[in-house]
Amino acid sequence: MAENSTDAAPTSRRDFLLHATTAVGVTGAAVAVWPFVDSLNPAADTRALSTIEVDLTPIAVGQAITVKWRGKPVFIRRRTPEEIATAESVNPDDLRDPQTDAERVTKPEWLVLVGVCTHLGCVPSGQKPADQRGEYGGWYCPCHGSHYDTSGRIRKGPAPLNMAVPAYSFLSDSLIRIG
């Protein structure tokens, strides 16, 4: 017994030491990886541009403007009463990505969309009066022929989802903050 214990003590101490050292070394290495990974995330100056404020005053009824937000176009359309009526009259159950118009706007007159086709990322046409707007009077993506309605919902073509509505809020009647 006595012989055994003298033999066993250093071995177990060595094992403990070995395990402790391995644990500390691996932890240190793992923690050291984080700053390098995080450096690939958006930098502070990029993040500072992740919210924008847009003045709505110059937009007349029936007009649309495009603003740049996080490197992507955002469509802001001041819809006509007819466009609102068409958008509201659709039965969401008939849609590929069922959503009522009310779910997609804060104030019915203002439609705010990330202007990126949900198929493969092209920018749909329909912002300018002369643009092609597709069969549903909203937007039309020339890349692969997706048709969006006056609520920005997918109605025909390969795109799987409605155009996204970014997080935004009205700071006043004529000023919104996106992001």
Three-state SS for 32?
Answer: helix
Nearest to 132 by CA among 157, 114, 108, 107: 157
Q: Does 129 bind another protein (CB under 8 A)?
A: no
Q: Judged by CB under 8 A, which of 1, 30, 44, 130 binds another protein?
A: 44
| HEC profile of 52-87 | EEEECCCCCCCCEEEEEECCEEEEEEECCHHHHHHH
Query: Which range binds another protein by CB under 8 A, 20-28, 88-96, 126-134, 159-167?
Result: 20-28
Q: Judged by CB under 8 A, which of 4, 5, 6, 41 binds another protein?
A: 41
From residue 118, how far is each of 25, 65, 70, 76 by CA, in Å?
45, 20, 17, 17
CB atoms within 10 A of CB 149: 23
- How far is residue 25 CA from its own chain's centroid? 39
Q: Does 30 bind another protein (CB under 8 A)?
A: no
Q: How far apart are CA 58 and CA 9, in angstroms?
A: 83
Q: Which is nearer to another protein, 4 or 39 (CB)?
A: 39
Query: Which range binds another protein by CB under 8 A, 24-32, 86-94, 113-121, 160-168?
Result: 24-32
Q: What is the chain's length?
A: 179
Q: Which position among 19, 119, 144, 147 bears the catalytic label?
A: 144
Q: Judged by CB under 8 A, which of 9, 20, 120, 171 binds another protein?
A: 20
Q: Does 40 bind another protein (CB under 8 A)?
A: yes
- List residues near another protein by CB under 8 A: 10, 13-14, 17-18, 20-21, 24-25, 28, 35-36, 38-41, 43-46, 48-49
The catalytic residues are 144
